[in-house]
Structure 1
């Protein structure tokens, strides 16, 4: 088809062959074979060159359309192979209002604007199940990577923050210590607040064998913060969540005798996932958050 198009464009088999860097005999023989298979003459040949027949004119229009489509498919396939187009589904259990995940998504979108990024927000347990089922490409959750797994990497740490009603006297302090919270009621979502957050809460407030006061609600994290603003208690979160503002709610750092309290994040993916966009996203995460433990 390219030979026919080139011959029509140049009006000569010799010039077309030169432009395509092939022998004239090869181009002429190939066009003759196409004419034989179609059962029609595409060109009128003369000493002055070649000209399309009426039937050839219609055929060349079809050939041009087919070649453009093939070129587009080939170019798109190359881009998919390089991870520059396609789709990437990222599961997370953290806010996108601020923080490292938001920044990573923005940078990835800037580098790979033709990749469709989809996000799935769910509990840690649900995300790992979605990952195992192949419904998401990567899960970003709290906690350190599971030892011995190749398809995981340590990412970043974030400060643990406390959301307080602005009417609470503690809200007037810029920094809050865990010991200041032992008489407060912690509002927890039953939709999996993350085992690390609960472990920290129990370890920091286990005074003399006592337990922190916890009120569980079957509510989203957003509604938990609305309850905080209404004065029903306080709540814990990582710093990515402080980008969202709620009426009557203030955020404060939490400290103990060792300084700031922090919680780690890790990424998990399936080692047999062939998605090139995932490979590029993992490379970006490694670039932004290098870890001596590496990743698989």
Structure 2
């Protein structure tokens, strides 16, 4: 004797409204359809669930017991349907997000906060890893999207240009240049640059090689925090993206780097797989397109 959850849902609505007509209107179906389905349920159960009269309907003793014991099934069905619809619209579910830049401030942090405000039911799974690992995770479907420094490159999948950030120099607070508001690349010719092997260290190193003919730099297999610790201790200077300067490090000050054309900047891009149909990804991409539109010529 199989009773469809849909029939129970109709019966719950009829009991709530005390009327087949009002229950059908609330559910958006024809009254005849609702009445027929409830009659089919009663036939299968072999008992009357409702007493019918010209003034409406009310539960029989058997009907009241049936709906009381099956209410959790109806509630579960309603929750399941609502959750499925929300996930289909990208308003619930999960978004796997890869990055390696700082989240202490800047556009990346602001974008994630705005997404959380718009879609609070979407769980964001954060993955901080090296550039090569992020691309590998994208290819294998372990990530939905990754934010990576540099202009969009011709890679497997899709990409879009996002924002750019100023490149800052981190100096010991006792450094003679620390009193300057702006530091020029030429001021740093004799400095020792401390960089990380970890991203975005290699890209900052490449920029350094372009700006200075023969810079002296030491690459460490260390985190940004450890590099800043060495700077504060007076072992050298370093480069950092603008979003990272809100993190305070003892003995370290940050100054804007410029050349003859103005501030030096580093760009960011988003990457995702073209066959990824996660609705939460689609909504996050729309948010990025809204916040960082492609400039029109």
| Fold shared, TM-score > 0.5 on shorter chain | yes
Are 1:130 and 2:144 an aligned pair?
no
Are 1:68 and 2:75 an aligned pair?
yes
| Secondary structure of 1:268 counterpart | strand
Match of 2:170 in 1: 163
Counterparts of 2:149 and 2:17, CA distance in 1: 64
* 74, 83, 89: which one aligns with 1:82: 89
Residue 8 (structure 1) shift: 3.5
What is the TM-score with the length of structure 1 in the denominator?
Answer: 0.87
Q: Is the 8 A contact 1:123 1:194 kept in 2?
A: no
Counterparts of 2:34 and 2:281, CA distance in 1: 44
Q: Is the 8 A contact 2:157 2:271 kept in 1?
A: no
Are 1:261 and 2:261 an aligned pair?
no
* 90, 100, 105: which one aligns with 1:98: 105
| Secondary structure of 2:96 counterpart | strand
Residue 148 (structure 1) shift: 7.8
- Residues 155/6 of structure 1: CA separation in 2 closer, same or farther (3 Å cut): closer
- Residues 31/162 of structure 1: CA separation in 2 closer, same or farther (3 Å cut): same
Residue 235 (structure 1) shift: 0.7
Q: Deviations over 1:1-38 (max 9, x none)?
A: 23433444455xxx323541567665554333212322
* 40, 43, 48: which one aligns with 2:47: 40
Q: Is the 8 A contact 2:195 2:201 kept in 1?
A: no
Match of 1:202 in 2: 209
Counterparts of 1:23 and 1:155, CA distance in 2: 51
Are 1:278 and 2:281 an aligned pair?
yes
Are 1:17 and 2:25 an aligned pair?
no
Q: Is the 8 A contact 1:142 1:194 kept in 2?
A: no
Matches within 5 A, 1:135-284: 135-147=142-154, 151-206=158-213, 211-284=214-287
- Residues 148/215 of structure 1: CA separation in 2 closer, same or farther (3 Å cut): closer
Are 1:56 and 2:100 an aligned pair?
no
| Secondary structure of 1:285 counterpart | helix
Matches within 5 A, 1:284-295: 284-292=287-295
Counterparts of 2:20 and 2:265, CA distance in 1: 69
Counterparts of 1:24 and 1:159, CA distance in 2: 65
Counterparts of 2:36 and 2:210, CA distance in 1: 83
Aligned Cα RMSD in Å? 2.4
- Residues 223/274 of structure 1: CA separation in 2 closer, same or farther (3 Å cut): same
Moved more, 42-51 or 193-202: 42-51
Residue 157 (structure 1) shift: 0.9
Moved more, 282-291 or 22-31: 22-31
What is the TM-score with the length of structure 2 in the denominator?
Answer: 0.87
| Secondary structure of 2:205 counterpart | helix
| Secondary structure of 2:138 counterpart | helix
Residue 39 (structure 1) shift: 3.3
**How many aligned residue pairs are there?**
286
Moved more, 115-124 or 163-172: 115-124
Moved more, 31-40 or 80-89: 31-40
